[in-house]
Amino acid sequence: MYNLRVGLDAAVDWLEAEHTRLLKEYLKEVRDLPSFGSVELDARVRRWLDDLSLMVRGISEWHFVAPRYFRDERSKVRKQGYVALLPKNKK
């Protein structure tokens, strides 16, 4: 990452740690969600958060269906869990 002046490996490590931190924070906040004063409203808020989670998961899933991102390698990328990077362009 250019702004942190780190290479690819360090950037991927940072991204993984940040993703894990944000996921844990989100799950804790959902778990500790207070009541909003009525059973109906509490259910609506929980439903909205569930729908939000499904939307995020759906976007992730869409990347493996749409050929835009992984082209003919979609199944392979999904199964292996990584993408082979192209060599850096020399200027």
Give yes or no for a contact between 80 and 87, defined as CB atoms under 8 angstroms apart.
Answer: no
DSSP string, 12-48: HHHHHHHHHHHHHHHHHHHHTPPP-SSHHHHHHHHHH
Task: Give CA–CA dist 68/72, Å, rounded.
Answer: 10
Higher per-residue pLDDT: 29 or 3:
29
Q: What is the pLDDT of residues 34-86, one digit of tens each?
A: 999 999 999 999 999 999 999 999 998 888 888 888 888 888 888 888 888 87
Model confidence pTM above 0.85: no
Instruction: Give me the sign of the Cα torsion angle 71, 75, 8, 10.
Output: positive
Task: Give CA–CA dist 66/41, Å, rounded.
Answer: 37
What pLDDT does residue 91 have?
65
Higher per-residue pLDDT: 29 or 71:
29
For residues 8-28, give the mean pLDDT.
94
Q: How is the chain split into domains, by residue range?
A: 1-32, 37-85
What pLDDT does residue 19 have?
94
